[in-house]
Amino acid sequence: MNQKIIFARGVAWDRKPVKTRLILKGDNLIEAIEEGLEKADATLLPDDILFVSEKAVGASQGRYYLLDDDSLKPRRLAVLLSRFVTKTPRGIGLGMPETMECALTECGTPRILFAAFVSVLGKLFGRKGDFYRIAGTKARSIDGPTSGTIPPFNRAVSLAPENPDGVSRTIAEHFDCSVAVVDLNDLGGNILGVFPPELDKNLLIEILSDNPLGQGTASTPVGIIRKA
């Protein structure tokens, strides 16, 4: 279990995960967050930062494919490229034809091919990370199915949410606090969107470095950051 309090830049920060109902395509994200806050008896203060997982945002937008979905048919190029993806503790990433197919569709075939080419050259010189640096956030945020994930996402490919900055603004204006859309795992994370725009993304990464939302079936896609 992660500690509630973490120190970042000399300040103690409290992080409170909030459990919500399962969020799926077409669900009202703000209503789901409100329900979760009410059940947790959590009151948001103006100086709080509400953070929401990118998977919950994307799910509400329908940004996922079930593996048995007829619309998700990997092309031969996706099958080929997926074989060269290095598997990491972060998860399967683009190391399966279905996730690679989504990367080709989301980012464009030329960009993925160029990223793969530069990645091969970089590895020759002992450099890592070129593929995702060039392919971009959308490719980095694609998640494949894992057995420890809450159904139906244990058999789904999840994509990055659309317009995370705009979603952050909508949520922030509703709850009257700062908001961040985050992509977290047990090895780190990325901040996909924030409101207000001047919110310090690097500080947020430090505060959320131990992934206080947890993994798998925790059903806590929302959290509150508050100075302790």
DSSP state of 143: B
- Can you say how many angstroms the Cα of residue 24 is from the centroid of all Cα atoms in its chain? 15
Helix ranges, the chain (H): 29-39, 54-60, 76-82, 97-107, 109-124, 130-135, 137-140, 164-175, 201-207
Domain with CATH 3.30.1330.100 in the chain: 5-63+161-227
Output the average pLDDT for the chain: 90
For residue 217, name the pLDDT band (cuts at 50, 70, 90). low
The model carries a pTM of 0.88
Residue 206: count other Cβ atoms within 10 Å of its Cβ.
Answer: 14
Confidence at residue 1, expressed as pLDDT on a 0 to 100 scale:
42
Task: Considering only residues 57 and 140, tell me which one the structure prediction assigns the higher pLDDT.
Answer: 57
Looking from the CA of 3 toward its CB, the CA atoms found within 13 Å total 8
3 state DSSP class of 223: strand
**Statement: 5-63+161-227 belongs to CATH 3.30.1330.100:** yes
pLDDT of 72-90, one tens digit each?
A: 899 999 999 998 887 665 6
Please provide residue 150's backbone torsions phi and psi, each rounded to the nearest 5 degrees.
-65, 135
Lowest mean per-residue pLDDT among 36-45, 57-66, 142-151, 200-209: 142-151
